[in-house]
Structure 1
């Protein structure tokens, strides 16, 4: 049995089975499948007898078919393997926060943006600093690169540079990822 959250007026945890095991199986006829046995349709009594002889559990795997599909296996081990398999497929979502700067930004405004970036990195989010060059300001690409590296230098305790300053059209950006030990 596993604990599952159910929707009631109050949020409570209710014991709910993931699979029916042994005597909790309600069907009279079962399709028995397994590795070291003859697959086929058995009555519930026959399947329970086979399972008890081997010393394992009879577990209802698929209830939607007629007759339901059951396997003879060690139930606790089966749950552990399923949990392990589900963990493998869950991927961590990485959020990237973008902070925009201009090449003529003053020191105070830069520090203000860096404080925001610090918070984002503490919450394990990537930070992307972007400088958009308008009009003739594209002449000062070197100023933009220096500004981006300065931001990365301030944040070296919280994150590391994933991509060095890159120019894409009229935009220059740098990506900083959070450090593992934060």
Structure 2
């Protein structure tokens, strides 16, 4: 018979600490009991439920403490914890992290260089990442910011077959940037 106060469970991406009371920690008068195979055994006193769990050489675990009456299940607690950890690990594997890749341009970029940058951005988008296209201004280039915005607009237009503009062009200090995401 196992005794544990806390079980760390990760649901929907956030770490939630759920207190799973087992065996003698359950202090309720009556509980709804679920058998080891999932069958409903009905509402009974905790002593009777504990007796059923001991006879099966398993643990009595309170799985739904907020229900009226609380729901307890007759299971092997160690195996239950292992299954929860395994499910959490599987869910974590299936999550995909979306990265923000950056492509840097300058106001006087040549067309071949721009095409190379577009190809790089296309590869990033095909892998499922977002792309931040940054147009950096140095020195006297700051005087012609308004006339350089078309470079970002042209970049977005050239990528519109696989990308959608998530954030429009915005000036941040000495650079103007736009964020492109995969088209849905």
C-alpha RMSD of matched pairs (Å): 3.9
Q: Corresponding residue for 2:127?
A: 123
Q: Aligned in 2, Cα 1:108/1:57: closer, same or farther, shift over 3 Å?
A: same
Choose the corresponding residue for 1:142, options 123, 141, 146: 146
Closer, same or farther: CA 57–172 of 1 in aligned 2, 3 Å: same
Cα distance in 2 for partners of 1:106, 1:122 equals 24
Supply the distance in 2 between the matched residues of 1:97 and 1:150 (Cα, whole angstroms).
Answer: 19
State the alpha-carbon separation in 1 of the partners of residues 47 and 170 from structure 2: 63
From 35, 51, 56, the equivalent of 1:49 is 56
Establish whether residue 133 from structure 1 lines up as the match of residue 137 from structure 2: yes
**Distance of 2:84 and 2:117 partners within structure 1:** 46
Structure 1 residues 38 and 149, CA gap change in structure 2 (3 angstroms): farther
SS at match of 1:113: helix
TM-score, with normalisation over the residues of structure 2? 0.57
The Cα of 1:122 is off from its aligned counterpart by: 0.1
Match of 2:17 in 1: none
**Gaps in structure 2 of 5+ consecutive residues:** 5-21, 32-45, 60-71
Distance 2:53 2:133 in 1: 68
2:67 alignment counterpart: none
Helix, strand or coil for the counterpart of 1:149?
Answer: helix
> What are the ranges of 5 or more consecutive residues in structure 1 without an aligned counterpart?
1-28, 62-74
Alignment of 1:60-139 (within 5 A): 60=78, 79=83, 83=87, 87=91, 92-139=96-143
Distance 1:143 1:119 in 2: 28
Give, in whole Å, the separation in 2 of the partners of 1:95 and 1:55.
42
Q: C-alpha deviations, 1:2-46, integer Å up to 9, x for none?
A: xxxxxxxxxxxxxxxxxxxxxxxxxxx55492673349x99xx97
Q: How many residue pairs were aligned?
A: 133
Residue in structure 1 matched with residue 172 of structure 2 by the alignment:
168
**Which 4+ stretches in 1 moved above 6 angstroms?**
none
Paired residue secondary structure (1:103): coil
Give the deviation of 1:96 after TM superposition: 1.1
1:179 Cα deviation after fit: 2.1
Kept in 2: contact 1:48–1:58 (CA 8 A) = no
